[in-house]
A = this chain, B = another copy of it.
Amino acid sequence: MTSLSRASAPAKAILVGEHFVVAGCPAIAVAVDVRARAEARLLAEEGVVEVSSRELGSGTFGAQADPRSPLYPVYAAARAVLARAHLNLGLEVRVESDIPPGAGMGSSAAVAVATVAATASLLGLRLSLEEVSSLAYEAEVVVHGRPSGIDNTVSTYGGAIYYRRGEGFVRLEADLEPVRIVLADSGIPRSTGEMVSKVLALKSRHQGVVDRIYDAAARLVEAARDAIERGDYETLGELMNINHGLLSALGVSNAKLEELVYAARAAGALGAKITGAGGGGMVLALAWKEDAEEVARALAKVSGRVILAPISSEGVRGEG
């Protein structure tokens, strides 16, 4: 055991396949190098976890922890590690996150992953990446019901992750260094549940047509996987553009999202699309490293928040 341990974990963004993934189609997400950080210290008092968050304030959790507290997920992550280690020590956990919350970037999963890693390291508990991801997932389940597991997986392993329901996760072998991710916020709140319902309703009204759009999306994700594994980012960008059109066909785009998408493409992005549920939220552009600043500048003219970051081939990591 050490007196202090730190860890960080990256954000995630869906590259291709959102919405279609709900019906069993594959999807690919990437780790975006914007991080949540956690540091854990031992406390003298047994059974108590003091949580403080740069963004959310602080609170103390003990036997009567309130699951409605915004800090509860951090406590749940630390608690999961303590339970795994069969320890009932007192802990202080501090977290901070550069990942915008509620943006579909897996902010809460990244905080959970970093908390699990920092706590395990503090306790001298050696966890495999699989165990880190799975303990973070446990903490997520407490708060979010049954998430897909993509957020904690991407945040833990980093890189590009291929996912298909029932088949689990495959980390793609890829050289992600030549490209950058540029994310731009539409300023319109996301409403994932509403969008998912809207798409399912459209699907039921136009089954034959929409089924074929799903077929196209499933093929597209397989082609995107091949493109990533070959390092063929022009092809990947084109597939992202096609994917955007399919999302538009599902009715989850709007005027602002289109403005962002075409601003990114006009500025030289390899591809640009809605990322996540649509209706609001963010647009994701893929650009060559050399062109990414230009894409970000163009997006900053029409978006209040632009994030330019590498794809993080590293997932969770200890921090000095």
Residues of A within 8 A of B (CB): 202, 205-206, 208-210, 212-213, 215-216, 219-220, 223, 235, 238-239, 241-251, 253-255, 258-259, 262-263, 266
B205 in contact with A238 (CB, 8 Å): yes
- Kindly state the separation between the CA atoms of A263 and B258 in the bound complex, as whole angstroms: 12
User: When A and B form their complex, which 6 residue pairs have the shortest distance between CB atoms, in order from nearest?
Assistant: A245-B249, A255-B262, A245-B248, A212-B216, A258-B258, A212-B215
- Kindly state the separation between the CA atoms of A262 and B263 in the bound complex, as whole angstroms: 16
Most chain B CB within a 10 A radius of its CB, from A208, A212, A235, A263:
A212
B239 in contact with A206 (CB, 8 Å): yes
* A212 shortest CB reach to chain B, Å: 4
**Across-interface contacts of A242 in B (CB, < 8 A):** 202, 206, 209-210, 213, 249-251
A255 in contact with B259 (CB, 8 Å): yes
**Across-interface contacts of A215 in B (CB, < 8 A):** 212, 215-216
* A260 shortest CB reach to chain B, Å: 10
- Kindly state the separation between the CA atoms of A220 and B202 in the bound complex, as whole angstroms: 13
* A69 shortest CB reach to chain B, Å: 40
**Across-interface contacts of A205 in B (CB, < 8 A):** 235, 238
- Indicate whether A250 sits within 8 Å of B255 (C-beta atoms), given known contacts A223-B208, A238-B202: no
Q: A252: nearest residue on chain B (CB-CB)? A: B245
**Across-interface contacts of A266 in B (CB, < 8 A):** 255
B254 in contact with A209 (CB, 8 Å): no
**Across-interface contacts of A223 in B (CB, < 8 A):** 206, 208-209
A245 in contact with B239 (CB, 8 Å): no
Q: List 29 A-B contacts (CB under 8 A).
A: A202-B238, A202-B242, A206-B238, A206-B239, A206-B242, A208-B223, A209-B216, A209-B219, A209-B223, A209-B242, A210-B242, A212-B213, A213-B213, A215-B216, A216-B249, A241-B249, A243-B249, A245-B246, A245-B250, A245-B251, A245-B253, A246-B246, A248-B249, A249-B249, A254-B262, A255-B266, A258-B259, A258-B262, A259-B259
**Across-interface contacts of A258 in B (CB, < 8 A):** 255, 258-259, 262
**Across-interface contacts of A247 in B (CB, < 8 A):** 245
A220 in contact with B216 (CB, 8 Å): no
**Across-interface contacts of A250 in B (CB, < 8 A):** 242, 245
Cβ contact of A249, chosen from B246, B251, B263, cutoff 8 A:
B246
**Across-interface contacts of A254 in B (CB, < 8 A):** 262
- Kindly state the separation between the CA atoms of A220 and B210 in the bound complex, as whole angstroms: 9
- Kindly state the separation between the CA atoms of A205 and B255 in the bound complex, as whole angstroms: 29
Cβ contact of A248, chosen from B208, B248, B259, cutoff 8 A:
B248
B213 in contact with A209 (CB, 8 Å): no
Q: A220: nearest residue on chain B (CB-CB)? A: B209
- Kindly state the separation between the CA atoms of A245 and B254 in the bound complex, as whole angstroms: 11
Q: A235: nearest residue on chain B (CB-CB)? A: B205
Most chain B CB within a 10 A radius of its CB, from A202, A209, A251:
A209
B212 in contact with A208 (CB, 8 Å): no
- Kindly state the separation between the CA atoms of A254 and B239 in the bound complex, as whole angstroms: 17
